[in-house]
Amino acid sequence: MSAARRLLRFNPRLLQSRTNKRTAAVTGAAATPPHTSVGNAVLFSGSAQCRRPEGRVTVHFINRDGQKITTSGAEGDSLLDVVVDQKLDIPGYGACEGTLACSTCHLILEQEVYDQLGHIIDEEQDMLDLAYGLTETSRLGCQVCLSRSLEGATVRVPAGLFDMRRADSSGSSSSA
Amino acid sequence: NKNTPKVCIVGAGPAGFYTAQHLIKSRQDVEVDIYERLPVPFGLVRFGVAPDHPEVKNVINTFTQTAQHSRCSFYGNVNVGTDVSVKELQQAYHAVVLSYGAEGNRRMGVPGEDLAGVHAAKDFVGWYNGLPDNRKLHPDLSCETAVILGQGNVALDVARILLSPMDMLKKTDITQPALDLLAESRIRRVLIVGRRGPMQIACTIKEVREMVNLPDTRPEMVAADFKGIAEAVKEVPRPRKRLTELLLKTALDVPTEKEQEKRSKASRVWGFRFFRSPVEVLPAPDLSRAAAIRLAVNRLEGSGEGASAVPTGEVEDVPCGLVISSIGYKSLPIDPLLPFDSRKAIVPNTMGRVQKTAGVYCSGWLKTGPTGVIGTTMNNSFDTARALLEDMDSGALDVSSAKPGSQGVTPLLEKRGVKPVEFSDWEKIDNEEIKRGVAMGKPREKLLSVDEMLHVART
């Protein structure tokens, strides 16, 4: 039995916003393999079969410690795909594997990039509501796809709860 | 290797796994053993997350990788507190992390709470999710109205499961006995009741949107509950604003033609009721079961998140046959030698370091109280792991002496007739559940008793 459990899921909202190589219409059997990671170990990438070497887009990630990482992905890859494929060191990033069920892939974009990306569906906005350190130019990395117009963009990984509230050992106010 | 730092974690839910993950990733020498009361891991991801939220369960993939890491071991079927004491764990390991969550309930504390027909949400959720301790719940779903006390996401999960069409539920990993009972359910109306007003509701917008969009249902709210809300919503932070706007729209706006058509054809009703606290569950004439709930009418003092509910003296009786109390889970103490704050129902700690108890830490709901989604628990657990790692680095936690780790525990367990379930044994249970699920057209058909789980694990 393979190490990664393939959960059957069909997320029409993702298909609506773009072609997502990582989800597949499910009628019963196999779904596109998810990205999984422990720290930096990646089992496999769902986007490998669609990659076109000439369509690479360069993006810069500023990590929580201020470190700048320059990397790239294929056109059509989501920023979550890039983090996983390039094994970027962002603990806990993408917990729900791009299914709009968490906010751990939260990224802060530059204003111009944010503006040109356009409409955000309700389901993404709903998850962004729960993100720590939400800003006016925040997006979920699993919903932002690389295209030529993102070439050279810089995205920032926001501070996590443990960065913002070190002295406070009490719980958050959101419900389970 | 006797000289490596050895940490044991009590509880194999998200808190336990995220703590383990961070420790293993941060130091190449640390070994982590995770002890779990049940034969199966994953805690509330398996037993709490609603069956129709499979995406939320994707974290199981990353937890599985952690469990399979060479420096991590899972020991299921071991009850810390009865099979082995925390003191014995402290002797065997350099550090102990308590991540066993909240397996108790906050009680309403009203007369009639123990009548048939009244259930804690934790037990009802445990029942449809296959928690062995709840398999005999047999809730009576033959009444027309169900009242849920509490308006958090757990309350909304219960409402949604009670009202979802069968063809949605039957494709999920909800247990077959629950599915069979729900198929016969006569419940047509679910009221979700809160002490305070619309702007203090504890659930999140995703769950409200799911109720609004639930097929074959229509919302039924009290317009007067929303007096003054449209004005007040203008000044609040974005998450509260968007949620309140959705509530306002659902309660007050003239529906679109399509929505109106849906509402007119709907066979099931749901609604929030605000400014109401339970004061008594009223019995049927033969005193055998619940027949109504008496609610105190409140008014709000103050505004915003800190507003309080003040009784007006008025009461209101709502006939119903099912009462679900969804006012919070509650952690329980497992060892009298450990400090425990019974008022807050948490282990007293500073940033995950248990007070007055060197070498013992806590993460997850046991640390901060029973609220928060998986992402909250992730951050909480990473925080505890960082405190533990800091203590290792600074010498506050002495890892220089050799400790036996599990080799100091398994002989004790053997002597006591306790046989741990290893992760590869869980994988047999997992495979069996998936296999049974295929036959039912579901992702899995869960094994429902510890005996059955152990039987499959040992084969």
* Min distance B353 CA to chain A CA atoms (Å): 10
B196 appears as a binding residue in the annotation: yes
Residues of B in contact with A104 (CB under 8 A): 375, 378
- In angstroms, the Cα distances linking B149 to B248, B277, B279, B324 are 21, 8, 11, 6
* Min distance A63 CA to chain B CA atoms (Å): 16
Q: Is A41 in Cβ contact with B350 (below 8 Å)?
A: no
Structure tokens at A82: 């890039």
Separation CA A111–CA B209 (nearest Å): 29
Q: Is B378 in Cβ contact with A1 (below 8 Å)?
A: no
Residues of A in contact with B53 (CB under 8 A): 101
HSE-CB of B96 using CA atoms within 13 angstroms: 22
Percent of residues in chain B assigned helix, strand, coil, to nearest 5: 40, 20, 40
Name the DSSP letter for residue B152.
Answer: S
Helix (H) or strand (E) holding B383: helix B374-394
Residues of A in contact with B379 (CB under 8 A): 92, 132, 160-162
Instruction: Check residue B344 and give its pLDDT.
Output: 95
B418 appears as a binding residue in the annotation: no
User: Look-up: residue for tokens 């999710």?
Assistant: B129
- Domain assignments of chain A as residue spans, ordered by start: 56-156
Looking at B20-87, which runs of residues are DSSP E strands? 31-35, 72-75
CB A47 within 8 A of CB A77: yes
The CB density around residue A59, as the number of other CB atoms within 10 Å, is: 23
Backbone dihedral angles phi then psi of residue B337, each to the nearest 5 degrees: -80, -15
- C-alpha of A69 from chain center: 16
Hey, what amino acid is at A143?
A: Q
What is the chain B residue with the closest CA to A36? B62
What is the chain A residue with the closest CA to B428? A1
B207 appears as a binding residue in the annotation: yes
* Min distance B396 CA to chain A CA atoms (Å): 19
Q: What is the pLDDT of residues A38-71, one digit of tens each?
A: 333 333 333 433 345 558 999 999 998 899 999 9
Helix (H) or strand (E) holding B361: strand B360-362
Within the 392-431 window of chain B, which residues sit less than 8 Å (CB to CB) from chain A? 427, 430-431
Compute the C-alpha angle B36/A102/B233, nearest 5°.
125
Q: Is A169 in Cβ contact with B368 (below 8 Å)?
A: yes
Residues of B in contact with A38 (CB under 8 A): 21, 24-25, 62, 65-66, 69
Query: What's the whole-model pTM score?
Result: 0.89
Separation CA A118–CA B255 (nearest Å): 27
- Domain assignments of chain B as residue spans, ordered by start: 6-103+331-421, 105-329
| Segment B389-394 long-range contacts (CB within 8 Å, at least 24 positions apart) | B389/B23, B389/B26, B389/B27, B391/B95, B391/B353, B392/B5, B392/B27, B392/B30, B392/B94, B392/B95
Instruction: Check residue A54 and give its pLDDT.
Output: 59
* Tens-digit pLDDT string for chain A (176 aa): 333 333 333 333 333 333 333 433 222 233 333 443 333 333 333 343 334 555 899 999 999 889 999 999 999 999 999 999 999 999 899 999 999 999 999 999 999 999 999 899 999 999 999 998 899 999 999 999 999 999 999 999 998 654 443 333 333 333 33
Q: Is B382 in Cβ contact with A92 (below 8 Å)?
A: yes
Separation CA A10–CA A124 (nearest Å): 16
Separation CA B60–CA B21 (nearest Å): 12
Supply the angle between the helices B121-128 and B153-163 in degrees, to the nearest 10.
Answer: 50
CB A79 within 8 A of CB A59: yes
Q: Is B243 in Cβ contact with A96 (below 8 Å)?
A: no
Residues of A in contact with B376 (CB under 8 A): 161, 171-172, 174
Q: What is the pLDDT of residues B291-331, one digit of tens each?
A: 999 999 999 999 999 999 999 999 999 999 999 999 999 99
Instruction: Check residue A23 and give its pLDDT.
Output: 35
Residues, chain B, total? 459
* Min distance A16 CA to chain B CA atoms (Å): 17
B91 appears as a binding residue in the annotation: no
Q: Is A169 in Cβ contact with B351 (below 8 Å)?
A: yes
3-class DSSP assignment, residue A29: coil
Q: Is A175 in Cβ contact with B203 (below 8 Å)?
A: yes
Instruction: Check residue B179 and give its pLDDT.
Output: 98
B6-103+331-421: in CATH 3.40.50.300: no
Partners of B191 in the β-ladder: B147, B271
Compute the C-alpha angle B328/B329/B332, nearest 5°.
140
Question: Using CB atoms, which residue from B58, B206, B368 is nearest to A171?
Answer: B368
Within the 69-108 window of chain B, which residues sit less than 8 Å (CB to CB) from chain A? 69
Separation CA A58–CA A72 (nearest Å): 4
Q: Is B152 in Cβ contact with A1 (below 8 Å)?
A: no
Domain A56-156: give its CATH code: 3.10.20.30
Separation CA B219–CA B270 (nearest Å): 5
Architecture, CATH, for domain B105-329: 3-Layer(bba) Sandwich (3.50)
Structure tokens at B401: 């002496």
Separation CA B168–CA B268 (nearest Å): 15
User: Look-up: residue for tokens 């998450």?
Assistant: B239
Separation CA B283–CA B421 (nearest Å): 45
Residues of A in contact with B121 (CB under 8 A): none
3-class DSSP assignment, residue B190: strand
Instruction: Check residue A132 and give its pLDDT.
Output: 87
Instruction: Check residue B457 and give its pLDDT.
Output: 98
Separation CA A13–CA A125 (nearest Å): 12
Regions of chain B where pLDDT drops below 50: none
Question: Using CB atoms, which residue from B54, B239, B365 is nearest to A7?
Answer: B54
CB B77 within 8 A of CB B429: no
Nearest to A97 by CA among A36, A44, A143: A36
